[in-house]
Homo-oligomer: A and B are copies of this chain.
């Protein structure tokens, strides 16, 4: 078992990474009180809810389960209220532990519910997708979407424990597995060129879901994220680098309609757009962007954004949480393996960097 420790202002917590984790009550027991609530979705419930419930029974914990509809389009107030209602109906207390069993949507919405139910209850993440194992379950960002913007309502709220079971990735549809790989590649691009080279060498085996290699990749990404979060928990500075590809990616998701493009797919395409912007700023070359695009293709991901009007790009980007005092902020690449925060005031420059992806 690999363990990565995340140090935050409120407390430190472990991420446990291994196979056959959700069968084993020894790992979760020390982190639980008397009572727990599991939040999952209809898809994951069919696959793993019984196993996790068995684990809690073994652990001697009283529990109940809340099952949400599956999909990004349900990452909204209605699902949040479903959780609140069921917690209240089951007389959940603020010492009851909320356990998120699922991917990024379940983790984000459950984390926000845990952050806000009775002003905060203990929270455990059991991420069941590659994306949530390497990214969304680590670091305490929780949120729901608003009709006017993704992740607009949320909180920074840290879990007590993250359990990343590599075996559950076996049931992940290929498209979702690829989407998770987009975030893995993102880590390499923003801060670790050696890891980029490693990924280029091992991508075919990773896409075959080789568990040894996956354990290495997941642990490496979690360690990179833990280092950044320990330094900048609430994203005042360096943590923003984790948003590489996300400003453009969020624009793509919003433009296409939430859930039409998977988050990871939009991040991959958005990262290519960020590479194009970096080219325009003179820090990347066309062959760098092509190298990035090639790695995304190898991971079964889109290597360019969909085509839509510049005014639409602009409108989405202006709603981004990274906008500060009216200035647009992007994460761009100094070189492959080193990201920086860049303020852009020049809309023409932005437009020209997106020109390949604009209607003719």
Q: Which residues of A contact B (CB under 8 A)?
A: 9-10, 33-35, 77, 81, 84-85, 88-89, 91, 93-95, 112, 115-120, 141-143, 146, 148-149, 151-156, 234-235, 318-319, 321, 323-326
Q: What is the CB-to-nearest-CB distance from A197 to chain B, in angstroms, rounded to a whole number?
A: 34
Inter-chain CA distance A35–B148, complex, in Å, is 20
Q: Which residues of B contact A9 (CB under 8 A)?
A: 9-10
Tell me, rounded to whole Å, the shortest Cβ–Cβ distance linking A347 to chain B: 16
Copies of this chain present in the complex amount to: 2
Cα A336 to Cα B218 in complex, Å, equals 58
Given A88-B148, A146-B88: A325 and B119 interface contact (C-beta under 8 Å): no
Q: Is the CB of A33 within 8 A of B325?
A: yes
Contact of A117 among B35, B141, B142, B153 (CB under 8 A): B153
Q: B81, B118, B148: which contacts A89 (Cβ < 8 A)?
A: B148
**Pick from B88, B154, B321, B325: contact of A34, CB under 8 Å:** B325
Q: How far is the CB of A91 from chain B (nearest CB, A)?
A: 7
What residues on B are CB-neighbors of A88 within 8 Å? 146, 148-149, 152, 319
The docked-state distance in angstroms from the alpha carbon of A117 to that of B149 is: 11
Q: Which of B95, B146, B155, B234 contacts A324 (CB 8 A)?
A: B95
CB distance from A58 to the nearest CB of B (A): 20
**Cα distance A5–B153 in the bound complex, in angstroms:** 30
Bound-state Cα–Cα, A235 to B156, Å = 19
The residue from B93, B112, B117, B120 contacting A156, defined by CB atoms under 8 A apart: B120
11 pairs, CB–CB < 8 Å, chain A vs chain B: A34-B325, A34-B326, A88-B146, A88-B148, A88-B152, A91-B319, A95-B324, A116-B116, A118-B321, A119-B143, A119-B234
Quote the shortest CB–CB distance from A75 to chain B (angstroms): 14
Contact B146 A84 (CB under 8 A): yes
Give 12 A-B pairs besides A89-B148, A116-B154 with Cβ atoms closer than 8 angstroms.
A9-B10, A33-B325, A84-B146, A91-B319, A93-B323, A93-B324, A117-B152, A118-B153, A118-B154, A118-B321, A119-B141, A119-B321
- CB of A254 to closest CB in B, whole Å: 13
- Please state if B154 and A321 are interface contacts (CB–CB under 8 Å): no
Residues in B whose Cβ lies below 8 Å from that of A321? 93-94, 118-119
The interface residues of chain B lying within 8 Å CB-to-CB of A34 are 325-326
Q: How far is the CB of A308 from chain B (nearest CB, A)?
A: 21
Query: In the complex where A33-B325, A89-B148 touch, is A153 in contact with B116 (Cβ < 8 A)?
Result: yes
In whole angstroms, what is the CA distance A13 to B115 when docked?
23
A10 to B233, CA, bound (A): 11
